[in-house]
Structure 1
Amino acid sequence: MTEKRTGRPPKYTEAQVLKGIELVEQAGGAPTGDTVKKTMCAQLGVPGGINAQSLDKEVERLLEERQHQRRERQVAALPEVSRAAVKEIGAMVETAVLHHLGQELEGLRTIAGKRVAAQNIDLSNQRVQIRDLLSKIDHLAEEIADLGHAKVEGEEQLTKAQAENAALKARIADLEKEQDFRSQMLAVMKETLEQRPEVAD
């Protein structure tokens, strides 16, 4: 039967289309919407104005349906022995395919397991390296803190030494001034003594 249509009803029947297909094939042609249309109009009295595109879809559907029915008839005509042999072969093929797929799956699982194990080892090694790096970072932080404390202590000692040095310099300057004063006093006293008149005998 033709498929349901929602538009204008066709100007031909399914039987006419099947007959048109048969006539085209008998003439050695390939059934299409265009060839069947020409044959139907010329030999079956179907009026013109047929939509060749819609007819082409109908021809394709009928050809597929005919092929399906032919296959069913061919299978139905097979003896029971052939049917049993086909079933046995099918079961053997199914078993072989399933066995092959099972082997492939087992191999893939083995490979996947090895990869997961290797990744776990790599992850464990990375964790060890990370712990070592964190330990080194903590150690460096402690050293930096110690250096900071030492720097502060060194700066304090330097400031104290500079203050002591300044005090010593000031003391030296004072001593130098005092020494100059004493030298001047001695010079004055010496000059005074040298200028005293001699006592007569």
Structure 2
Amino acid sequence: MTEKNKGGRPRKYNDAQVQEAIDRIEARGAVADGAAVKNLLRDEFGVSPGIDAGILDGEFRRICAARAEEKARKLAAKLPASAKSAAADIGKDVIRAVTAMLAKQFDDLGKESREREEELEADIRVFRQRIHDLEEQVNKRDTALAELEMENHGLKEQAKKTDAKILLLKAKIATHDRNNEIETRLASLIEDIVAKNATAPANENAD
């Protein structure tokens, strides 16, 4: 007994119903497809309209493929032996032709692949050489920078030594200037003392 839903319609359908639906649609001169089968099952077999259209379409395609295969098998069975032999020979010729075509395409693809591989290897070699050249440039630049840093350090050290010498010379000059000033003052003082001593006897004689 077919299961009923609340609306009184059967919930399920079977292959026989689907095949019958296809036969009815084709008998009416229409093209059978999943949607047409679903509508006919609903309208004429009372199947619920809520059935999964995707599942029904898959079953429809499977049944159609099986029917087509069965039809072709029955037609082939009616062929005479000579026709079957000719068909077999044609099939062999087709297989040979297809095999030869596939073999040529495979060989062409192999050649193209090898050529492409050689091109890629050449590109990789160029790329690696470029990287090597860049690395050498970087190394040379690093070496030059290191030499410049060493030279700069040496110049700074020389500048420090020069500054120290300048400070020492300034100190010596300052000391020399102070000594000259002292000598000048001392000479002036001596001159004053001598002058005073020279005028003192003259004053005494006058008395």
TM-score if structure 2 supplies the norm length?
0.68
Aligned to 2:202, which of 191, 197, 201?
Answer: 197
The answer for the alignment partner of 1:35 in structure 2 is: 40
Tell me, in whole angstroms, the C-alpha distance in 2 between the residues paired with 1:105 and 1:67.
39
Give the secondary structure class of the aligned counterpart of 1:28.
Answer: coil
1:122 equivalenced with 2:122 (yes/no)? no
Aligned letter for 2:131? Q
Residue 106 of structure 2 aligns with an amino acid whose one-letter code is L
| Deviation string, structure 1 residues 106-143 (Cα, Å, up to 9, x no partner) | 11321221122222222123213212321331232133
Instruction: Note the residue ranges of structure 1 that are not aligned, 5 or more in a row.
Output: 1-7, 42-47
Distance 1:63 1:181, change over 3 A: same
Q: Deviations over 1:175-196 (max 9, x none)?
A: 2221122123224423553565
Distance 2:184 2:20 in 1: 148
Is residue 159 from structure 1 mapped to residue 164 from structure 2 by the alignment? yes
Residue of structure 1 in register with 2:87 after alignment: 82
Output one character per residue of 1:50-88: Cα deviation in whole Å (capped at 9) or x when no partner. 446489566554333111112233455353113212321
Partner AA of 1:160 in structure 2: K
What residue number does 2:97 align with? 92
Question: CA, structure 1 residues 194+85, in 2 after alignment: closer, same or farther (shift >3 Å)?
Answer: same
Structure 2: segments with no counterpart, 5+ residues: 1-9
Q: In the superposition, relative to structure 1, how do residues 185 and 59 fare at CA in structure 2: closer, same or farther (>3 Å)?
A: closer
Greater CA drift, 73-82 or 157-166: 73-82
Aligned residues: 184
Q: What amino acid maps onto 2:27 in structure 1?
A: Q
**TM-score using structure 1 length:** 0.69
RMSD across aligned positions (CA): 3.6
> Residues 155, 60 of structure 1: CA spacing in aligned structure 2 closer, same or farther, 3 A cutoff?
closer
CA contact (8 A) 1:21 1:36 kept: no
Identity %: 13
Which residue does 1:70 correspond to in 2? 71
Q: Which amino acid aligns with 1:84?
A: D
CA shift digits 1:11-57 (9 cap, x unpaired): 8783x76455434433324442433665xx6xxxxxx6444648956
Pair 1:105-2:105 in alignment: no
Structure 1 160/79 Cα, relative in aligned 2: closer, same or farther at 3 Å?
Answer: same
**C-alpha contact (below 8 Å) 1:34/1:56 kept by paired residues:** no
Contact in 2 for aligned 1:17/1:59 (Cα 8 Å): yes
Partner of 2:4: none
Distance 1:187 1:150 in 2: 54
- Structure 2 CA distance for aligned equivalents of residues 149 and 187 of structure 1: 56
Q: Distance in 2 between matches of 1:13 and 1:99?
A: 46
